[in-house]
Structure 1
Amino acid sequence: MADTSIGTAAQLRDPDYMPALHRAVPLGIQHVLAMFVSNVTPAIIIAGAAGFGFGSDAGAQGFPDMTYLIQMSMLFAGVATLLQTVGMGPVGARLPIVQGTSFAFIPIMIPLVAGKGVDALPALFGGVLVGGLFHAALGLVIGRIRFALPPLVTGLVVTMIGLALVKVGIQYAAGGVPAINTPEYGSLLNWSAALVVIFVTLALKFFARGMLAVSAVVIGIAVGYVYALAMGMVTLDGIATSWSRAAMLQFPVPFSYGIEFSLAAIVGFCLMAFVSAVETVGDVSGITKGGAGREATESEIAGATYADGIGTAVAGVFGGFPNTSFSQNVGLIAMTGVMSRHVVTIGALFLILCGLVPKVSAVIRTIPIEVLGGGVIVMFGMVVAAGVSMLSDVNWNRRNMVIFAIALSVGLGLQLDPKAVQYLPETVHVLMTSGLLPAAMIAIVLNLVLPEDLADEATEEVSGGMAGHGRGRTDG
């Protein structure tokens, strides 16, 4: 419900309205809490996949790797958000859009870094840089390419992203990949910490209101952390050591891990930029409809896409990951009724401050992996649910069912059995085994080339008699 005590109805719907600071600051921090865990989780997952996550310290030029990556995730989420809210020429929608590290790119990044340690990072960040510039260039044509990404395609891709990530959540909850061959892996103690987080998060989501519901995952992880501390899963000595070793203030260093340009990384990031750009268009439209009761303008959509890409490219220079608009903050705007971009600017400044203080990252790093697992199980499950929700807008005729079936079968199958294409060239192998890119390309191409009248000509044999009985609201 809108808080009319901070302004009139017209003011609340105005992006340029600035509430009094004693109101604006808590509202800005609300936005940060709504996205905080989601924003830093990709850095933790990629560090773990590369092999320098929990339990490692040495990094490029002396940086503690996971701590530094978490730091950059916060810092450049704030920078990218400022590009959206304050703007710079044609860059930025000048709307209350919160940017954060994108989950969508994780299935692309994991095969690029898997088991390769710090040596994988130069090529990864080269891909982030080029992919970000390509993403920004999409702002010139975003209005003309949206037709190629209807709900059938975007819903499939988002669902695939979630399905690719749920395994990570389960592995974390059981004890993490490094412990997978130890007796402790999958123990009741490990699972109990994850379940505490899940139960607290669900309780707040279903039975709390306002700020408690918005911050459910953050609070769930905090409660899980306290539980883990009580159970001896994290020691006070470890917290003190992590805190004392972290600097009070640290500025980002450009190309701190070096830079390389790998074809696999560049192709992967550029192709995923299409999906990310369309997601941002949806978020911009959601903000203007839910917060201001109007359609987004072409300049707002283009500006948001420019900011998405440039924010990503700048992050890649300093060791950050791709940024995108965060949908949960769109819902927060609808809940509070406050459309002010200046409120989100305050949140962005808070993120930047956190990113410049390594002690914040050091504390996040002490969270037991099992506790984080409980949080990511909820978050990644919600990604799948979001994809299914998008798919509800598809007209489930036989044509669309066949497109979806083929794309899902190939994409998910390659994720489950990467060795099926082990004789392909390395670059192609990396792209194929993500599962996400082949699924997206199959869906896009088939949706463009198969005529709509095939929907009436297909037979029941295609789907075993189960097709054609459910219809969504619009054509896919």
Structure 2
Amino acid sequence: MSTPVDLRDPNYMPPIAQAVPLGIQHVLAMFVSNVTPAIIVAIAAGFGFGTADMGQMIYLIQMCMFFAGIATLIQAIGLGPIGAKLPIVQGTSFAFIPVMIPLVAGQGVGAMAGLMGGVVAGGIFHMFLGTFISRLRSWLPPLVTGLIILMIGLALIKVGIQYAAGGVPAIGKPEFGSLGNWFMALVVIVVTLALKFFTKGMLSMSAAILGILAGYLVALVMGEISFANVGKASWFMAPNPLHFGIEFNAAAIIGFCLMGVISAIETVGDVSGITRGGAGREATDKEISGATYADGLGTAIAGAFGALPNTSFSQNVGLIAMTGVMSRYVVAIGAVFLIICGLVPKVGAVISTIPIEVLGGGVIVMFGMVAAAGVNMLSAVEWNRRSMLIFAISLSIGLGLQLVPEALQHAPKTVQVLMTSGLLPAAFIAILLNKVLPEID
């Protein structure tokens, strides 16, 4: 008689005919979210769609896929104490975008060296957090973490609207905000919602990427897509060490280290969610430390080759709970698929043909969900005068500085970059006030 299979065992390896589709499903669930930060950073810096340096954006997209795969392998398979050895999918983090955009805004490819210095330094600091991550949890109750996640979403929603209306370079031009632009974006939103709520299984989990595919097909019919760069792209490209160079400046290092704390706490939550939802138990200290080490190492390695910071992806936590398959080897198969995609520039070239308006439709959904996740966390807060005051002051100053960056025009450049993201001042004020203000009856 055969031994019963325990699907909750991370070391269980399903038959390959099941493992491969399950692994690809993990990639589909996170694919759009993984490459979107690369496109946003490239456009912000000025080497996005249709520019002379567009090849640099394709490289950035490729490396974000490749190193998401590498980081996922480290997390799932492990390197000694590094890695949770759980089915955790790593991907390019949205959380860092509000910090990255001010660092590169309008400065071209040359600004990427300073950004990469921040990614590497932040990754090393993130690894260090693994030695005492459990102690940080008391500093970040739902009031603080909810506010921080909400601020990330609020900082990014503007980007989604700009893209849906025609993109940042098109602002002020007659075609910006045209019906055609909005039609492409709305197709993405409507199809995503329809698939998410009126289908089940693979279709529901892949709603985001299928929504963008629907918008892409509409854009193709409208004649908004050019495949010129796809033909020029090669079939293979190896990662290039220090592709963008590397520089270390205070604003980037401080910003990435502070955001590393937020990313580490997010990973702790994802690890706990996986063990509870997939295995019906609490995560061990070893698993939490290993996951944090892997987060940091994956980020530091990515920065050294010209990619963006990695973190655990929450959408895949839900996928594990839905499938009931806890196997880390399934996730490792998905990681190999990502690595292969990252080595084929034609994949990045195809992604780069997505019209900005189509991407905008997807981004509106994704970034709105980030803000909604923050609101959901805040629902666990016991609202009284103390918590309302902490929330009010943190949100007002953080969001206010984001909306009116000129308010700090006389401050040093480093201070301007860090403060006008809105996110860091809001987080700092919330953490500080939560620690110093006494509880009230």
TM-score range, shorter chain: over 0.9
Q: How does 1:56-75 map to 2 (within 5 A)?
A: 56-58=51-53, 64-75=55-66
Q: How does 1:415-426 map to 2 (within 5 A)?
A: 415-426=402-413
Aligned with residue 21 of structure 2, among 23, 26, 31: 26
- Check whether the contact 1:57–1:65 (CA below 8 A) recurs between aligned residues: no
Q: Please give the per-residue CA displacement for 1:267-318, whole angstroms capped at 9, x wherever unaligned.
A: 0000011110000000000000000000000000000000000000000000
Match for residue 467 of structure 1? none
1:58 to partner: Cα distance: 2.9
Provide the aligned length of Structure 1 versus Structure 2. 439
The 2-side partners of 1:46 and 1:416 are apart by 19
Match for residue 414 of structure 2? 427
Aligned with residue 253 of structure 1, among 225, 234, 240: 240
The 1-side partners of 2:57 and 2:66 are apart by 14
Match for residue 117 of structure 1? 108
Aligned with residue 198 of structure 1, among 189, 202, 212: 189
Match for residue 96 of structure 2? 105
Aligned with residue 87 of structure 2, among 76, 92, 96: 96
Aligned with residue 44 of structure 2, among 34, 37, 49: 49
The 1-side partners of 2:52 and 2:305 are apart by 19
Greater Rg by CA: 1
Q: How does 1:64-463 map to 2 (within 5 A)?
A: 64-234=55-225, 238-239=226-227, 241-452=228-439, 455-456=440-441
The 2-side partners of 1:245 and 1:440 are apart by 45
1:220 is matched by which residue type in structure 2?
G
The 2-side partners of 1:398 and 1:275 are apart by 26
1:138 to partner: Cα distance: 0.2
1:57 to partner: Cα distance: 3.5
2:329 is matched by which residue type in structure 1?
H
Match for residue 466 of structure 1? none
* Unpaired stretches in structure 1, ≥5 consecutive residues: 1-6, 457-476
1:397 to partner: Cα distance: 1.3
* Residue 11 of structure 2 corresponds to residue 16 of structure 1: yes
Q: Please give the per-residue CA displacement for 1:200-239, whole angstroms capped at 9, x wherever unaligned.
A: 00001110100001000100010100000101111xxx21
TM superposition score normalised by structure 2: 0.99
1:157 is matched by which residue type in structure 2?
I
1:147 to partner: Cα distance: 0.6
1:27 is matched by which residue type in structure 2?
L
Q: Please give the per-residue CA displacement for 1:59-97, whole angstroms capped at 9, x wherever unaligned.
A: 7xxxx1110110011000000000100000100000000
1:126 to partner: Cα distance: 0.1
- Check whether the contact 1:308–1:324 (CA below 8 A) recurs between aligned residues: yes
What SS does the corresponding residue of 1:103 show, helix, strand or coil?
A: coil
The 1-side partners of 2:259 and 2:56 are apart by 25
The 2-side partners of 1:118 and 1:340 are apart by 40
- Check whether the contact 1:28–1:345 (CA below 8 A) recurs between aligned residues: yes
What SS does the corresponding residue of 2:130 show, helix, strand or coil?
A: helix
What percent identity do the matched residue pairs reach?
71
2:317 is matched by which residue type in structure 1?
V
The 2-side partners of 1:300 and 1:329 are apart by 17
Match for residue 468 of structure 1? none
What SS does the corresponding residue of 1:382 show, helix, strand or coil?
A: helix
The 1-side partners of 2:139 and 2:48 are apart by 38
What SS does the corresponding residue of 1:53 show, helix, strand or coil?
A: coil
The 2-side partners of 1:306 and 1:445 are apart by 26
The 2-side partners of 1:182 and 1:276 are apart by 38
The 2-side partners of 1:255 and 1:139 are apart by 26
1:181 to partner: Cα distance: 1.7
The 1-side partners of 2:182 and 2:80 are apart by 50
Q: CA RMSD in A?
A: 0.9
What SS does the corresponding residue of 1:140 show, helix, strand or coil?
A: coil
The 1-side partners of 2:181 and 2:294 are apart by 41
What SS does the corresponding residue of 1:100 show, helix, strand or coil?
A: strand
1:145 to partner: Cα distance: 1.4
1:242 to partner: Cα distance: 1.7
Q: Please give the per-residue CA displacement for 1:156-196, whole angstroms capped at 9, x wherever unaligned.
A: 00000000000000000000011112110000000000000
Q: Please give the per-residue CA displacement for 1:404-458, whole angstroms capped at 9, x wherever unaligned.
A: 0000000000000000011000001110100000000000000011111xx33xx
1:56 to partner: Cα distance: 1.6
The 1-side partners of 2:32 and 2:224 are apart by 20
The 2-side partners of 1:80 and 1:116 are apart by 29
What SS does the corresponding residue of 1:319 show, helix, strand or coil?
A: coil
The 2-side partners of 1:446 and 1:58 are apart by 45
What SS does the corresponding residue of 2:383 show, helix, strand or coil?
A: coil
Match for residue 460 of structure 1? none
The 1-side partners of 2:136 and 2:216 are apart by 45
The 2-side partners of 1:247 and 1:336 are apart by 37
The 2-side partners of 1:268 and 1:130 are apart by 10
The 1-side partners of 2:32 and 2:47 are apart by 20
The 2-side partners of 1:432 and 1:144 are apart by 26
The 1-side partners of 2:257 and 2:325 are apart by 34
Q: Please give the per-residue CA displacement for 1:366-421, whole angstroms capped at 9, x wherever unaligned.
A: 00000000000000000000000011111111101100000000000000000001
The 2-side partners of 1:449 and 1:429 are apart by 26
The 2-side partners of 1:159 and 1:177 are apart by 23
1:324 is matched by which residue type in structure 2?
T
